[in-house]
Each structure stands twice: as structure tokens, then as C-alpha cells.
Amino acid sequence: MAITVVGSVAFDTVETPAGRRERCLAGAATYFSLSASFFTDVRVIAVVGDDFGPEQQKVFDARKVDTTGIQHRPGKSFFWQGSYMENLNEAKTINTELNVFAGFEPSIPASYSDSEYLFLANIDPVLQRRVREAMPTAKLVGGDTMNYWIKDHKPALLEVLKGLDVLLINDTETRMLTGARSIALAAGKIFELGPKILVVKRGEYGATAFFAPKRPDGAERMAHRAFHVPALPLEEVVDPTGAGDSFAGGFFGYLASQKELTPKSFRYAMFYGSVMGSFVVERFGTDRLQELTREEIDHRFKLFRELTHLD
């Protein structure tokens, strides 16, 4: 089953304790689609400028990602500059240039309309909502956001949440969005806003999913419906950028490759998400995803099983 993703296709300059990389191909939708492409067909909606040429296109083509929905506009692509010098788990934004994203009017190619899965990657919530409304038949809708939108664009973001099944955000964003003291408390608050599943990404500590209680009275205790996956303890994280989006790509890509969505498939999706996040951080930008093979993914999945198996 196919997934459509809307989000940034960008150039990033990043600085980490392992070095610095100037203007590498990046963006939330790029990381998501490359990651998900190992599991299912992926279609992208985004806008790029004239700095996006054949070299960048080749990266999507090599993974057979459908880029019909990427608009080309005069000007520069979205640009983000971040630093991880103080904290490898959280990026410090140095500079954001919207460039061609400033006037972006997403339009959905007719060939995308049968996508059963939709992912609203980190982008202006007004645009996320527009794409959500244009694809009302999607079977499972996921979304991400970041501190910037939570702080200054909350009303628009709350509208987006109403149309989401799964929200994937990091722990700081979870607390910021809900004001809750713990992520378990935050989960309850988020279920009241729309999503039925909350996946909290916690950097080197892995990720925790919370599933909304089936009974409306909430009688079932939340802790019984949580599931945790670790991150792989890596000796060196070269560049954490894209870990969250690659996690989301593995998570949704795996789900879309399944005939049926069961509690078990969501638990497996958490593991595949963590597997994909563990690869992307090994090299700068999308380098690792570009050379990755399905065999390596399967091998690492086994490693994750060993990491968590009790007997």
C-alpha cells in the first residue's frame, strides 16, 4: 500500500561533535520517504527551488520514490542550519530560511489520491491541514511537528491534531504541547485532542508508544497500553538529523506493508522505526540511507530483538 508524505525537502548545514556538513540534501519529507521506501511505495508532496537539480533527483529515483508531487519554483529550496554541539539528542536551530516554502500551495497529483497512508511531516500546520482535507479517504494518518509550531502556531496545530490517528513527536515537544509533567499524563491529554496513538521519540533512549484505551471511561490504566523500544547503543552518533523522520518512515512504511493492522504490527513498527533511526545517524545527512540495503535492515532488526529479549 502506498504512503503519501508532505513536508520539507531541504538543504541543511549541520554541525556536530563529529564535524560539519554544508548544504546537504535533507528535509523531513526526504528522510521520511527514503526510509519508508525500503518497505512500501512512497509519494512526496513538497516544493523545491532551482538549487534542487539532477543530483538531488537521483537520490529519490534510486529509491523509486514518486516525486510527481514535488513542485519546482524559481528561488532557493528550504534551508535549515542546526547544531548539536551542546546536546546530541536535541538540535539547536541556528537559522531557518523558508525560501520557496513561503508561498507553497500544496497540490495533490491525481495519481496520489488512492494512497491509504498519509504522513504529515514537520511543516506549517496550515499546510498539513490542507493536505489532510484533500485526502479524506486515507486509512491511517500520522503527523509530526516541532517546538516552533507548538509555540507560535498552536491553534492551527490543534486543528491538525483533530485529523490525526498517530502523533509522533519528541519528549520535549510532548511536554510543551500538553504542559503535562510526565509523558504518560501527556498521552491522556493528547488522546483528547484527536490522535489515538502517541509515539514519543526520546533520542538515544528510544521511543515509547501509548495506545488510547478502548473504553471511553478510560478504566484501563494507561501504563498497560504503553510499549517501549530502545535505541541502539551506538559508539558514535555522527549526525542525529533526520532520526525522527527516519523513525517515522520505518514505522509507517512497515505498517503500510502489512495486510492487517494489529497491536502486534504496531509493536513491530516501533522496532522498524528504531532500526531506521539507528542507521541514519551513522553518517551525515542522507548518506547512510542512500547506501542502505534491505539485508542490513533485517540484520539490525535481529540485533534489536537480541537487545531486548529476556530468555
Residue 24 or 222: the one with the smaller Cβ distance to ligand AMP is: 24
Cβ at position 263, least distance to ligand AMP in Å: 26
Strand order in the sheet with 92-97: 19-26, 10-16, 78-83, 92-97
Residue 96 or 290: the one with the smaller Cβ distance to ligand AMP is: 96
Residue 148 or 205: the one with the smaller Cβ distance to ligand AMP is: 148
Residue 24 or 184: the one with the smaller Cβ distance to ligand AMP is: 24
β-strand partners of 83: 15, 92
Give me 300's grid cell.
539490525
Of the candidates 41, 111, 108, 151, the residue with the CA atom closest to the CA atom of residue 120: 108
The two counts, helices (H) then strands (E), for the chain are 11, 13
Query: Alpha-carbon Rg of the chain, whole angstroms?
Result: 18
For helices 183-193 and 171-178, the axis angle rounded to 10 degrees is 60
Cβ at position 31, least distance to ligand AMP in Å: 6
Cβ at position 216, least distance to ligand AMP in Å: 33
Give me 72's grid cell.
519546482
Residue 96 or 265: the one with the smaller Cβ distance to ligand AMP is: 96
Q: Which residues are at the interface with ligand AMP (CB under 6 A)?
A: 8, 10, 12, 26-28, 31, 80, 96, 122-123, 148, 241-245
Give the helix ranges, DSSP H, for the chain: 28-36, 54-62, 125-134, 147-152, 154-162, 171-178, 183-193, 243-256, 263-280, 287-291, 294-308
Cβ at position 21, least distance to ligand AMP in Å: 11
In angstroms, how far is CA 155 from the centroid of its own chain? 21
Residue 122 or 178: the one with the smaller Cβ distance to ligand AMP is: 122
Give me 270's grid cell.
516501533
Cβ at position 51, least distance to ligand AMP in Å: 14
Cβ at position 177, least distance to ligand AMP in Å: 15
